[in-house]
Structure 1
Amino acid sequence: MAIATPAAMDVGPSDRPLRIAVVYGRSPLPMRRADQLTVAHLLTFLKARGHAVDLFAINSGGTPDEADVAWLNQTCRKVQMFAHDRVNIAKGLARVPLSGLPFQVGLFTHDGQRAALEKAVDAGEYDIVYTYYFRSAEITRAIAKKRTGVRPRTFLAMQLSQTLNTRRIAENAPNWAYKQFYSLESRLVARYEAEIFRDFDRAVLIGKSDVAEINGTCERLGRPPIDNVVLCAHGVDVTRFRPRDDLPVVPGKLVFSGVMRTPTNVQAVQWFVTNVWPLIRAEVPDATFDIAGREPSSDVLALGKVPGVTVLGTVPDTSVPIAQAAICINSMQAGGGMQNKLIEYLGSGKPVVATSVANEGIGATDGEHLIVADEPADFAREVVALLRDPARSAQLGQAARRYIVENWTWEAHFLKLEQAFYQSLDEGA
């Protein structure tokens, strides 16, 4: 289930309100994906700070209902939604062979969205144009490249290294066709990612590992490194994802949560059930593993036939199975940037065993806030050890909660982003 609307922001109004265009390849509501969650909370923050925000979005990722539309209209000064129909999809993908654009960029390049934004920019309506995800970069690229006259400052929220993300998906692909497609996409993404940030005033990335990955790509392709980075990660709702006294922990229960049609999540649970789960059950025969998340693929549903594994599918609120877990796991093998599920686990005060891939964007300390394990035998051993040591599990959970409250609230990260807006405006004056 998607939570209806974002939590309120604990911030007061800014003494320097801005006019901001937010450009996005989906509707922020309903919040079914991590990127929708982030954009919806960003809109909430900007509204709370008194900024005037116009949203230019493609109507994909779930159709907003009346309540969603009402919330968007209340939160934004103006909302323009553009149909993601077969005609526009075909036009976008047709650009790929001739332009060399990544498929995901072609898919989310919408001529109507671009024309409407350019008209508003030409009318001088914005101080900042904020493009969320590099797949929407072609919508704002011409605006960003303009170097004459009055223009807004432009931010491209690349968020993570898509080169790293697509390469890892290809490496962990379940079949030949999947592997070939993502191998091709990874090469297209590498060339695009090493160039696109140069056209914008600022490139927003989640963490230093993503900067390093993009710089590695630039070096391989003989191009200068990225030099306009703003680091801004996501946050978590620490009131929703919190320790719960009203929900008992189920002994021996492990939980993984996420959108279960996403390739990286599918690969993560397949790896865990195939390689780690038999080792855990050999030591703790009554252990159970719940996979919570909407739209489970056929590969995920098949895992429900394994003894002790339950595919919950869509649940009313993912914070509930997380609260009931004895241990939460994040067994990601592919992906980049940061894992929202991991900060949700940690914010809930749960003991967590995760791979280094899952933790690379979060930077939690191994052994203090969570346990990191990459090999199946190591992963299983750490899970079993925590199941047998409630005191150690409680200690990890308490440290995890403190770490999130101190470092990973939405407000903390968005205030840094806002400061980057002001700095860029002052430098460009």
Structure 2
Amino acid sequence: MKLLFLIPYVFVPPSLGNHNLTFNLLKYVSDRAECDLAILIDNEIDREIVAKRILKEFPNINNIFFFEKPKALIRLLYQIQGCFCGFHPAIARYKSTKLALWLRNCCTIEQYDAIHFDLFYMAQYRQYCPAIPTVLVASDAYSMAANRIRSQTSHWQLAVKYYINELVLKNYERRIYSNFDLVGTVSPIDTQYLSKILPNSTIKTIKIAIASEFLDRPIARSNTPKLLCTFTGGKQVVWEAVGQFLDDCYRRIKPDRPQIQLFLLGRNIQAAKWQKLLGNRSDISLSDRVEDYMSFLSQDWIYIYPQTNGSGLKTKVQQAMAVGLPVVGSPEAFAGLPIQQGKEGFICHSPEEFYRCIDCLLSDRALREQMGRAASDFIRKNFSREVAGAQILELYRETIARYSSTNLENNNVNNESCITPSRSD
């Protein structure tokens, strides 16, 4: 099997959730299929260095093709053009005429068995690959995510913004995703949502593989565990969710356990806003990064995820479970992670449930260890590279076979409809 991967960014090293999806998928697939990569890259990035990094991690990759992302002025023109089509402006950041031309001229069924489109940004290139099986790994249902954020925001200006986002994203999903032979999401909720708006498309849930390095890591257990909460801090609803946790849950825990420490780790932190929320409290630490996240995670934490917005599988939750931490989270925290309540984690629907579950774990070291082991076993069984990789390879094969079968049926219909006139002597 020979595959072409269209990737919107440099994914080595894997620093984000979607990077992890691509990285771990390729770790498995590139050892079992011939793979070429076409990667969009910023102009200032050294392509030779990036290629060396990729080949160090994936020595079996055949070819790597780089295509430059549009510069500021060109990107603005693409955004204006996209607005007339009702598309989200973010898509313009990944529009490359050179990549489009290359796909049109070079990608044929004779050259590749299938093309893997990584994330919704790359779906725009489907039109340049008309005669080849195509798989879009969309990751999340982004219009659903916008809908959730809109429904939770208390500011009407933000609600209008997210409503517009929802409309343009849904328009893109309906118009572009329907052209793919297979669309993959990382959570059953996202799959169900896209299946409703794309009833004639094949939508499947795919697994995000976990790196083996997260499994079987020793944790230095203690009698005084700490609380860890991670988040992406750029959105108002996230700030409000963490604030609610502090007010309704952590505030009740602290008086009975004055030595407890809470660590908040988030991306896109707006320092002034968070400082106003936290004040000068010495028991709460806030940071936007740590040097070695894997080692940082391998401490005696109780991992907390109070957010209820967004979509898709939460890779930070998955990683915490893999390491062996007990996780307390909202239902959205465990999207795509069908755990058993109370065994592999605690699913909480209210601040009161958060408080009771965290208090229970703080009081019972044996329970923390037992739940952590069960969580790690759950991730190993369901999301190892071997399990997730075998699934995506099978989906490639099914898509290729379905495409070939459909083409054969169409050819037979065309042949039957062609009537050869009889000749009379």
TM-score bin (small chain) = 0.7 to 0.9
1:31 and 2:14 matched:
yes
Contact 1:56 / 1:117 at 8 angstroms: preserved in 2? no
- CA distance 1:279–1:183, shift in 2 (3 Å): farther
Quick one: which of 372, 378, 382 aligns to 1:407? 382
- CA distance 1:190–1:428, shift in 2 (3 Å): closer
- Aligned twin of 1:136: 122
1:346 and 2:321 matched:
yes
- Aligned twin of 2:64: 78
- Cα distance in 1 for partners of 2:234, 2:318 equals 20
Task: State the 1:130 CA deviation.
Answer: 0.8
1:237 and 2:245 matched:
no
- 1:48 partner SS: coil
- CA distance 1:65–1:279, shift in 2 (3 Å): farther
1:309-340 per-residue CA deviation (whole Å, 9 max, x = no partner) reads 10132111222332223301111221111010
- 1:141 partner SS: helix
Quick one: which of 173, 183, 186 aligns to 2:166? 186
Contact 2:325 / 2:371 at 8 angstroms: preserved in 1? yes
Contact 1:353 / 1:379 at 8 angstroms: preserved in 2? yes
- 2:343 partner SS: coil
- CA distance 1:239–1:123, shift in 2 (3 Å): closer
Residue correspondences, number: 398
Amino acid at match of 1:23: L
Quick one: which of 83, 88, 93 aligns to 1:102? 88
- Aligned twin of 2:151: 171
1:389 and 2:364 matched:
yes
1:379 and 2:351 matched:
no
Task: State the 1:160 CA deviation.
Answer: 1.8
- Aligned twin of 2:229: 256
Contact 1:338 / 1:362 at 8 angstroms: preserved in 2? yes
- Taking structure 1 as the reference length, the TM-score comes to 0.84
Contact 2:150 / 2:163 at 8 angstroms: preserved in 1? yes
Contact 1:248 / 1:324 at 8 angstroms: preserved in 2? yes
Contact 1:386 / 1:393 at 8 angstroms: preserved in 2? yes
- Aligned twin of 1:198: 178
Amino acid at match of 2:376: R
Contact 1:26 / 1:57 at 8 angstroms: preserved in 2? yes
1:238-297 per-residue CA deviation (whole Å, 9 max, x = no partner) reads 32354424x455724111235544777555534423443222224433221112345533
- Aligned twin of 1:158: 138
- 1:367 partner SS: coil
Task: State the 1:186 CA deviation.
Answer: 0.7
Quick one: which of 293, 302, 316 aligns to 1:327? 302
- 2:76 partner SS: helix
- CA distance 1:403–1:89, shift in 2 (3 Å): same
Task: State the 1:93 CA deviation.
Answer: 1.3
- CA distance 1:123–1:423, shift in 2 (3 Å): closer
- Aligned twin of 1:57: 40
Task: State the 1:164 CA deviation.
Answer: 1.5
1:379-403 per-residue CA deviation (whole Å, 9 max, x = no partner) reads 1221112101112222211111111
- CA distance 1:180–1:63, shift in 2 (3 Å): farther
Contact 1:88 / 1:110 at 8 angstroms: preserved in 2? no
- CA distance 1:169–1:395, shift in 2 (3 Å): same
- Cα distance in 2 for partners of 1:256, 1:136 equals 32
- Taking structure 2 as the reference length, the TM-score comes to 0.84
- Aligned twin of 1:15: none
* Structure 1 gap ranges (5+): 1-17, 219-223
- Cα distance in 2 for partners of 1:378, 1:136 equals 41
- Cα distance in 2 for partners of 1:84, 1:270 equals 39
- 1:234 partner SS: coil
Identity percentage of aligned residues: 16
* Structure 2 gap ranges (5+): 405-425
1:313 and 2:288 matched:
yes
Q: CA RMSD in A?
A: 2.7
Amino acid at match of 1:57: L
Amino acid at match of 2:78: G
- Cα distance in 2 for partners of 1:242, 1:303 equals 36
1:46 and 2:29 matched:
yes
1:50-80 per-residue CA deviation (whole Å, 9 max, x = no partner) reads 42322232439x9578654312245331231
1:398 and 2:393 matched:
no
Task: State the 1:118 CA deviation.
Answer: 2.3
